[in-house]
Amino acid sequence: MTTAAAGSRDLRRVTLVVGITNTALYAALTAGAWAAWGGLQAELTRERSLAAVVADGALILVINLAFGFAVLAGALALGVLDRGWPARVGVTAAVSAAASVPRMVALVSLGSTPTGVAYVTATGAMGFLSGLVGVLAAVFAGTLVDRARREEQRRAAEADRARRAVDALQDEELRVRRMVFDQLHGTLQYHLVSVTAGLDRLAEDLDAAGAGDRGTEVRAWAETLEEIREQDVRSLSHAVFPSGADLGTEEAIALLLHRLPAQVSTSIEIGPVYRGLVETGAAPMPMAERLVVIYTVEEAVTNALKHGRAHTVRVRAEAEPTADPEHWVFATVVDDDGTGPTRPDPPLHGLARHRERLEHRGGTLTLGTNPDGGGRLSFRLPFTVSPGAPPS
């Protein structure tokens, strides 16, 4: 069923529900007015049976119900929902006026209904207005509901377009990151290694030729070039795309901890729930979220060493379920034995941009002190499980 067809169906359904409700209320009020006006007392004074009196009241109720349903059905049959408001008012008024005639004929036929011109005119006018207002109120309510539904659909469509645009940008960012990483890690390093090897051979030739300090100078340039390759190029390639990110979240974090100086003690602990997700092959961490986790942990470790002067860093992470079985939260805690923050709301330094990334994805980040007095960074990141994809 198309969206337009569903919208037309919803509009008609709401109009019918409100219209039937209005008709029932009007019929009940009319029957009550008949009894209060004296119809019941008039019947009793004529010494008619109780059954006859009740039958008269029931007939009044049925007549007004039939009148309301006739106006509602006639207006809908003439396409009142497909017209503008001036035409809606005109069509409904015409149907209500036409239905008022048989209504008054039926009411007058009852012995309890006065036949005076004033009463018949007033009752007919009230019935006409009741039919008009009741149906138009139902149409108005249906229109409001339909408008709200359309607005909700519009917002949902805009949100979906925005989400797809963000996903496309993320995919393009990952593609560029992988490409630059491959160029830095592969092509550029290969060329640097080749140039370094050539400089080493040149230094050997200069030494053999007795060129004095020229060989030593060339060898120093080769060592500098090797340092650039090992430190700057490798560091830049890791910043573009972390080593081990393709293997999985735990593997990438383990690699970045392994690169720390030997005097820094590190450990990583992944909870059983997340491990269970990985073992099922459900790919519990898409690449975009995986990079956010890796870079945030890296920044936390950097801050612990740089600002807290820590000697021990411990990373703990676990997956927490939500009401939706496909949506989870990756909760991570990074503890250290450093000095820790000196105030309740410490400066985040480089963590500020990571908090923004987490909050943009519905996550949170807090920096505080652990029970041992060291620093503790905690962050939570929602992610979506993709059944059947490779584990991460």
Backbone angles phi, psi at 30, to 5 degrees: -65, -45
184 near 235, Cβ under 8 Å?
A: no
Residues 6+ apart with CB under 8 A from 196: 222, 225, 226, 229
Q: How far apart are CA 105 and CA 66, in angstroms?
A: 13
Q: What is the identity of the amino acid at 76?
A: L
Average pLDDT, the chain: 82
Residue 259: CA atoms inside 13 Å, Cβ hemisphere, count? 16
Mean per-residue pLDDT, 357-383: 93
Q: Express each pLDDT in 146-180 by its tens digit.
A: 888 889 888 988 888 887 887 777 677 777 777 77
- Look at 77 and 239; give whichever has higher pLDDT: 77
- Rounded CA-CA distance 141/11 in Å is 9
For Cα atoms 244, 247, 253, give the angle at the middle one, nearest 5 degrees.
45
Query: Could you tell me if 242 and 295 are in contact, meaning their C-beta atoms sit under 8 angstroms apart?
Result: yes
Q: Is the Cβ–Cβ distance between 46 and 39 less than 8 Å?
A: no
* Domains observed in the chain: 1-241 (no CATH), 249-384 (3.30.565.10)
Two tokens, residue 313: 């860093």
**Torsion angles phi and psi, residue 383, rounded to 5:** -150, 160
Among the residues of 38-80, which ranges form H helices?
A: 39-45, 50-77
What does the pLDDT look like over 105-153, one tens digit per residue? 888 777 666 666 777 787 788 888 888 888 888 888 888 888 888 898 8
- What is the DSSP pairing of strand 375-384 with strand 265-270? unpaired
Using a cut of 0.85, tell me whether the model's pTM lies above it: no
